[in-house]
Chains A and B, each alone.
Chain A
Amino acid sequence: MSNSPTTLFDKVWDSHVVRKIADGPDVFFIDRHFIHEVTSPVAFLGLLTRGIGVLSPERTFATADHNTPTINQHLPVEDPLSANQLLQLEKNTAKYGISHWGLGNPKNGIVHVVGPENGITLPGMTIVCGDSHTSTHGAFGAIAFGIGTSEVEMVLSSQCIMQPKPMKMRINVNGVLGKGVTPKDVALYIISKLTTSGATGYFVEYAGDVFEKMSMEGRMTVCNLSIEMGARGGMIAPDQTTFDYIHGRELAPKGADWDKQLAYWKTLKTDASATFDEEITFLASDIEPMITYGTNPGMGMGISKHIPNAVDIEGGVATYEKSLEYMGFAQNDSMIGKKVDYVFIGSCTNGRIEDFRAFASIVKGRKKAEHVTAWVVPGSHVVEAQIREEGIYDILTEAGFALRQPGCSACLAMNDDKIPAGKYAVSTSNRNFEGRQGPGSRTLLASPLVAAAAAITGVVTDPREFL
């Protein structure tokens, strides 16, 4: 071990390098591997074709989430292609002895919700999944990122992938967040400043007062969105908040093992004099509730602002204009007052209990706007149970909202939860790409508070009016 000052990222990365290839990537060991029904079948097929097996089935965890229905989960899945993917996941995991939380299992839910919730995600680990929002798990001080299906096959067969070590960026946000400003707004603000490719090639560490004071759910939301500025992942040094969250979870270490691991976790922080390839600092007081107006997550702004003029933005004017045309918006438009047809709360970004608490804080005692279709989708059965236990279910029902069953749902619209062409959705998910929520759909990314305000008024509304 070297004595020179190192970053949290260096500590975790360097301890997982099995072999360094000269003029090539590192052979990088993976502690935990999550798989789901959409990006794993071809990897299992690859194993068959090559005649190789799964090296460490106990390190891989499967859940079904991407294409699953969010109503009537007790019935057979109607779409034959989705049903086949679910069946393949069940068969493949059974064949190799991999844990599988399929549809109907009480532990089922979105992969990036159930991993932390069950104590699978721990500080100092390396975690991958065939899903770019695997960056979520970085909230625990893990190195976590999304991989392609060829790499899923690598992890299954050798528990390693080949990765060049990314550069390091630290993003500090200091100060106190204003009323109605949530972790989602912090992330959308950072992305709007860095653009959708501003952190490509980097792995990010988030630091500063704002993240230190943030809950684990909030930290997961922030780390989840790291990929939307191009970063491979983002991480936050583990602290007492992290340890308290993990303690007692089903698969978390217990007894003497807990004490041993905790001692290690406490060493996982960036040394005071360690340096980064890039360091950026923002002020919490500059951030207001955010909303996006374009077709990538970098096209966001404070909800009280006006859509920027093409001449004031970085990048190609043609691409910018194409984006606004798709959205049916014009330069200098205000977003406040724009009609909203759909509201979606859920996803691996904002599908945890705190998100539904926030949503309920605004809809409580009010009524959903009649013309708005709202999809309220918990991230897991555990979150669903919490919603009921805490009385949020009753608040939602009285306000005219129905609670659906867990899954990725309208975030990527692989199931039937599709926003129709031309319609506007305020969505707590992570991507506003063209057609992301259904062919022709128009997405406005925002926090659960902004989503709640829009669901009540039927138009884009500053949530601070309700707080």
Chain B
Amino acid sequence: MAYDSFNILKSSAVPLPIENVDTDQIIPARFLKATERTGFGDNLFRDWRYDKNDAPKADFVLNNPTYSGKILVGGKNFGSGSSREHAAWAIYDYGFRCVVSSFFADIFRGNAINVGVLPVQVSPEFLHEIFTAIEADPKAELEVSLPEQKITIVSTGAFENFAINGYKKNNLLNGFDDIDYLQAMKSEISAFAVNR
């Protein structure tokens, strides 16, 4: 069991209405030098969050105490660029368990699920509704139900369903991971490998 299981998450959310947030912004390369999976949250969005003297930038959303919560809401094409799983680790380590966007880059989406952060893809219209709700009330809560594959803006009741394949859903609900699955089919893999 590699991470916490995920069932229903009800939380306020942190808005980041920027498109094409790449993994170099989520965690810059110079912070990839650890050999263990800890402490990456401190450097989440490092160069947007801190100036060159390491002082917090007041205008960046993570430094604004008005916003908090376990859900990060990002603009279109979230997580593009480098395959660094450190980006997903940093998001998890900071305390987020879910990222909502209208579009995710492939590798980031896979990495997020593999570390226990649920990527929830919604329509551009619903993403706009979420940003509007948070703008109106920074404490506005979202409810993400993995069993129902449904995300709801609690204050308005507006909701949308999201897609996730049954295998990954089961993994997240139970905190299983792919390595558990693959270990259980090693003889089948070894037989396959003979001819390759």
Contacts and interface: CB of A to CB of B under 8 A. Distances in A.
Contacts of B22: 296, 431, 433
Contacts of A21: 167
A365 interface: no
Interface string B71-93: 00001110011111110100000
B138 to A, nearest CB: 19
Interface in B54-107: 75-77, 80-86, 88, 103-107
B34 A150 contact: no
For chain B, the bracket of interface size reads 35 or more
A436 B166 CA distance: 37
Nearest to B180: A50
A308 interface: no
A149 B114 CA distance: 9
A421 B51 CA distance: 11
A152 B173 CA distance: 23
Contacts of A82: 33
A414 B33 contact: yes
Where chain A touches its partner, the secondary structure class is: loop
A434 B35 CA distance: 25
Interface residues of A, number: 73
A95 B123 CA distance: 48
Interface in A397-429: 412-414, 421
A119 interface: no
Contacts of A81: 33-34
Most buried by A among B29, B103, B105, B111: B29
Contact of A160 (B17, B88, B168, B182): B182
A84 B35 contact: yes
Nearest to B87: A148
Given A200-B105, A414-B30, A435 B47 contact: yes
Interface in A1-39: 16, 18-19, 21-25, 27, 29, 31, 38-39
B18 to A, nearest CB: 6
Contacts of A433: 22, 24-25, 81
B80 A230 contact: yes
Given A38-B33, A39-B84, A45-B36, A55 B189 contact: yes
B103 A197 contact: yes
B177 A157 contact: no
Contacts of A436: 24, 29
Interface in A136-160: 146-151, 153-154, 157-160
A23 B167 contact: yes
Given A21-B167, A25-B167, A201-B106, A31 B196 contact: yes
Contacts of B104: 200
B37 A148 contact: no
A161 interface: yes
A388 B48 CA distance: 43
Nearest to A323: B20
Contacts of A88: 35
A22 B181 CA distance: 14
Interface in A55-103: 55-56, 66-67, 79, 81-82, 84-85, 88
B80 A55 contact: no
A161 to B, nearest CB: 7
A55 B182 CA distance: 11
B52 A67 contact: no
B28 A435 contact: yes
Contacts of B2: 150
A192 interface: no
A10 to B, nearest CB: 18
A79 B31 CA distance: 13
Given A160-B182, A197-B103, A315-B76, A85 B33 contact: yes
Interface string A216-258: 0000000000010010100000000000000000000000000
A380 interface: no
A281 interface: no
A7 B30 CA distance: 40
A391 interface: no
B83 to A, nearest CB: 4
Contacts of B106: 166, 200-201, 230, 232
B165 interface: yes
Interface in A237-294: none
B58 to A, nearest CB: 17
A14 B167 CA distance: 20
A194 interface: no
A41 interface: yes
A346 interface: no
A296 B80 contact: yes
A461 interface: no
A146 B83 contact: yes
A304 interface: no
B178 interface: yes
Interface in A196-222: 196-197, 200-201
B185 interface: yes
B189 A197 contact: no
Most buried by B among A84, A130, A154, A440: A154
Contacts of A166: 106
A318 B81 CA distance: 20
A79 B18 CA distance: 34
Contacts of B83: 39, 130-132, 146-148
B36 A23 contact: no
Interface in B155-174: 165-168
Given A21-B167, A435-B24, 7 more contacts: A23-B167, A24-B166, A162-B178, A201-B106, A315-B76, A414-B29, A433-B81
Q: State the 7 A-B residue pairs at the shortest beta-carbon distance, nearest first.
A: A24-B167, A148-B85, A23-B166, A81-B33, A146-B83, A148-B111, A41-B35
18 contacts: A18-B185, A19-B185, A22-B166, A25-B168, A31-B196, A66-B32, A147-B83, A150-B179, A154-B182, A157-B179, A162-B181, A296-B80, A316-B76, A318-B18, A414-B29, A431-B22, A433-B25, A436-B24
